[in-house]
Amino acid sequence: MTQQDITDHVPDGGKSSDDQSSTSGSQFVPNSCIGFDVTADFAHFRKVGNNSAKPSYRIPPRTTVAGLLAGIMGMPRDSYYDLFSPDSSAIAVVPKELPHTYTMGITTVNTKADDAIQYLPHERSWQQGAEMLTPKSYVKYDRQRDTYEMLVDPIYRIYVALDDRDVHDELRERLEDSRYHYSPALGLSECIADIRNVDVHSVESASTDVVDSAAYDASTVIPRPGITIKRERAPLYMEATDNGRKTTAFDNITYATGDDRLPVNESRAYTVGEHRIVFC
């Protein structure tokens, strides 16, 4: 989302939770939203622009949250970007407890190259399986050991609403019934996640200038003396291309540290359940 004049978000001096459309020209603000807790033993959200050493965002990027939800609904890769565009979706993430980190060496195998893994070579039969158990018998490419920054015991409260009511209702039902097409994970597929406390909340304007959630839109945040905040540059929205996908917008994931709450423009704050949040 690009930087905008804050007044663009407040027509006629205020907001109405009865409006399905955004208070800005493109931001979607719902009447109600789905809320759920998601946690895992470990999480890793790889920062863009790093290859060998792999640091992690502390808060899952918006694109990661969209991918998590699309996987739960079984949507094909690169097919859901319009569904999670700024004018048709609203997402907020509350870090219930900022996780500490642990550096871990992980050995990986390239599985993207054509025929990278050959579990049963044509010239071998299943009766010669003992030889096939050795790495050289089924992997063409060398394993690679990388250093990952892992988040330990993260817990996030995610709030989401979609303008497409059919998809929104399907997502709610799948979350309530724990009926996932693909197992939810926090970043890496090995970081299997546990989803709990699924609920539907009304969205109301909040008379506050501090919130519990992180912010994906830097223009929402108003730094204040005495409050420590951190910002991490991350992809915000994507679109499908002939060769896959591309990022259409970057912004800062901004969050408060310690016991502080994030200072924001009051016109962008909402009450959802027990939390005060900003949507993006």
Tell me: the pLDDT tens digits for 14-26?
A: 443 333 333 333 5
Are the C-beta atoms of residues 88 and 166 closer than 8 Å to each other?
Answer: no
Instruction: Give the gyration radius of the chain's Cα atoms.
Output: 21
Q: Residue 120: which domain range? A: 107-145
Which H or E run contains 251?
strand 244-256
pLDDT of res. 98: 87
Triad 35, 41, 45: Cα angle to 5°:
70
Q: Taking residues 79-93, report their average pLDDT.
A: 96
Are the C-beta atoms of residues 66 and 38 closer than 8 Å to each other?
Answer: no
Please indicate, yes or no, if residue 12 is contained in any of the structural domains.
Answer: no
Cα–Cα distance, 169 to 162 (Å, whole number):
9
pLDDT of res. 12: 38
Banded model confidence at residue 53, pLDDT cuts 50, 70, 90:
confident
Banded model confidence at residue 244, pLDDT cuts 50, 70, 90:
confident
Please indicate, yes or no, if residue 7 is contained in any of the structural domains.
Answer: no
pTM above 0.85?
no
Verify that 172 and 266 share a domain, yes or no: yes
Name the domain count of the chain.
2
- Find the range with the poorest average confidence among 96-110, 118-132, 187-201: 118-132
Please provide the distance, in angstroms rounded to a whole number, between the alpha carbons at the two ends of the chain. Answer: 8
Query: Exposed e or buried b for every residue in 9-47, given b needs 16+ CB within 10 A?
Result: beeeeebeeeeeebbbeebbbbeebbbbbbbbebbbbbb
Q: Taking residues 89-97, report their average pLDDT.
A: 95
Verify that 63 and 141 share a domain, yes or no: no
Verify that 268 and 209 share a domain, yes or no: yes
Q: Which of 145, 174, 203 is where one domain is finished?
A: 145
Structure tokens of 194?
Answer: 């546990």
Verify that 241 and 270 share a domain, yes or no: yes
DSSP 119: S
DSSP 21: S
pLDDT above 90 (res 187): yes
